[in-house]
């Protein structure tokens, strides 16, 4: 995302970045590289709507949504909803399974993480769930050009003109319809996003960087109509991170001039950013600018220590892209937006709503977004080191 050998065998590339190759697989140790899973080794040849759907021969995949919402009265909320698909055994291993077949037997797990940031109330709610992709409990499939990913009473539907999200937990719920404002964006080389020095250390990665969101959020029995902007990432891979990478800092920012910035720093244990760190700037027109490690700076100017885990996270950043005239200050909406997922991925990470102010090409800009931070939780996590 070491950990016990029979839980997670390797370290995996970010999305999420979700975020989070945190999930890795439940199985005995796999070899370096793709480990018998289908590998991403070059341009992905993505076609839509086909590739909105699942890619079951790859080891890990996620559909990741975040957004910033407001009620009619202006009360702000942030949300996250992520569905992970994790393949437990390489393709073809099913032939060695015992007979007769069982409706409960499957090579796939589905995992969900959800969160709601009540900014005004200074409350952060989170939930997680996990199920086999079998017996109608969970799954991911495409039917008539509509992708449906579900995990018990959580679901995502992605159709030709809109995305629909539903999730209900003890303290909060989400029911949102998202409509693309701009075309989707392919990161890296036509969707092939390198994360290391060898071809398989990569993912297929695209985003909807600006979605108009409308619907309701529930907070401890109170249902509130909301609207705002959301972001969606879809990523899949089978390859491990480079040796020596400790974790990543990822951000997705939506600015009020109609542009977006996605950037991630792969942090090395010996300090500094790994060469594969990168990102994408999206013009208001939808055109993209690929960013390499040396094209941007993401500097932490403050820190927050979790009272729950003792992890010390960056909190407030200075983000600069000199070639684009971008100089931004990024501030968490709440300091305490730490995800603790002991029941599913057993990973602790920070995933939170942020606000943005600064300058872009000489003019003042503001915006909102989300930041994800992994690898700060220390040795209490079986995924420490990510």
Q: What is the DSSP letter of 374?
A: -
**Model pTM score:** 0.90
Q: Would you mind telling me the total number of residues written for the chain in this entry? A: 386
Q: Say if residue 63's pLDDT is above 70.
A: yes
> Does the pLDDT value for residue 386 go beyond 90?
no
Mean of pLDDT values over 17-41: 51
232 in any annotated domain: yes
Q: Is residue 244 part of a domain?
A: yes
15 assigned to some structural domain: no
Q: How far apart are CA 244 and CA 229, in angstroms?
A: 36
Binned at pLDDT 50, 70 and 90, residue 3 comes out as very low
Query: What's the whole-number average pLDDT of the chain?
Result: 89
pLDDT at 1: 25
Higher pLDDT among residues 346 and 67, named by residue: 67
CB 205 within 8 A of CB 235: yes
Q: Has residue 212 been placed in a domain?
A: yes
Asked whether residue 96 is domain-assigned, the answer is: no
The DSSP bridge partners found for residue 263 are 251, 279
Residue-level pLDDT at 35: 75
**Sign of the dihedral defined by the CA atoms of residues 59, 63, 68, 71, in that order:** negative
Is 34 within a domain? yes
Q: Which residues pair with 266 in a beta bridge?
A: 248
Q: 14 burial class (0-12, 13-18, 19+ CB within 10 angstroms)? A: buried
Residue 185 is assigned to a structural domain of this protein: yes
Give the CATH number, domain containing residue 41. Answer: 2.40.370.10
> pLDDT, tens digit, for every residue of 209-266?
999 999 999 999 999 999 999 999 999 999 888 889 999 999 999 999 999 999 999 9
List the domain range (segments joined by +) for residue 352. 21-90+104-380
If one counts the domains in the chain, the total is 1
pLDDT category at 34 given cuts 50, 70, 90 is low
Share of the chain above pLDDT 90, in %: 80
pLDDT in tens, 170-196: 999 999 999 999 999 999 999 999 999
Residue 97: inside a domain: no
Predicted confidence (pLDDT) at residue 4 exceeds the cutoff of 50? no
20-24, 183-187, 367-371: least confidently modelled range = 20-24
More confident residue, 118 or 20: 118
């Amino acid at each position: 995302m070491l950990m016990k050998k029979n839980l997670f065998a390797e370290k995996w590339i970010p999305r999420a970045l979700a975020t989070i190759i945190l999930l890795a697989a439940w199985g005995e140790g796999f070899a370096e590289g793709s480990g018998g899973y289908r590998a991403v080794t070059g341009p992905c040849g993505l076609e839509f709507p086909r590739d909105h759907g699942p890619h079951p021969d790859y080891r890990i995949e996620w559909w990741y949504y975040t957004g910033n919402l407001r009620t009619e009265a202006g009360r702000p909320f942030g949300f996250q909803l992520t569905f992970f698909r994790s393949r437990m055994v390489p393709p073809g291993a099913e032939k060695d399974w015992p007979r007769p077949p069982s409706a409960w037997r499957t090579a796939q797990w589905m995992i969900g993480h959800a969160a709601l940031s009540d900014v005004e109330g200074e409350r952060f709610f989170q939930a997680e769930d996990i199920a086999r992709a079998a017996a109608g409990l969970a799954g991911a499939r495409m039917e008539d050009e509509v992708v449906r990913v579900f995990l018990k009473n959580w679901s995502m539907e992605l159709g030709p003109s809109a995305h629909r999200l539903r999730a209900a937990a003890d303290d909060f719920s989400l029911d949102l319809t998202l409509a693309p404002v701009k075309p989707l964006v392919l990161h890296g080389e036509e969707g092939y996003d390198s994360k290391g020095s060898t071809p398989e250390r990569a993912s297929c990665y695209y985003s909807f960087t600006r979605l108009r969101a409308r619907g309701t959020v529930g907070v401890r029995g109170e249902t509130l109509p909301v609207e705002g902007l959301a972001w969606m990432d879809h990523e899949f891979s089978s390859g491990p991170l480079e040796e020596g990478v400790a974790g990543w800092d990822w951000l997705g920012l939506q600015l009020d001039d109609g542009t977006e910035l996605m950037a991630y720093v792969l942090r090395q244990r010996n300090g500094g950013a790994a060469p594969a760190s990168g990102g994408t700037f999206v013009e208001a027109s939808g055109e993209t600018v690929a960013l390499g490690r040396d094209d941007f700076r993401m500097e932490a100017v403050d820190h927050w220590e979790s009272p729950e885990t003792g992890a010390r996270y960056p909190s407030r950043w200075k983000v600069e892209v000199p070639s684009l005239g971008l100089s931004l200050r990024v501030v968490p909406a709440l300091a305490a937006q730490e995800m603790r997922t002991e029941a599913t991925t057993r990973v602790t990470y920070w995933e939170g709503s942020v606000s943005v102010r600064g300058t872009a090409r000489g003019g003042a800009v503001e915006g909102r977004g989300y930041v994800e931070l992994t690898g700060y939780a220390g040795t209490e996590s079986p995924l420490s080191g990510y």
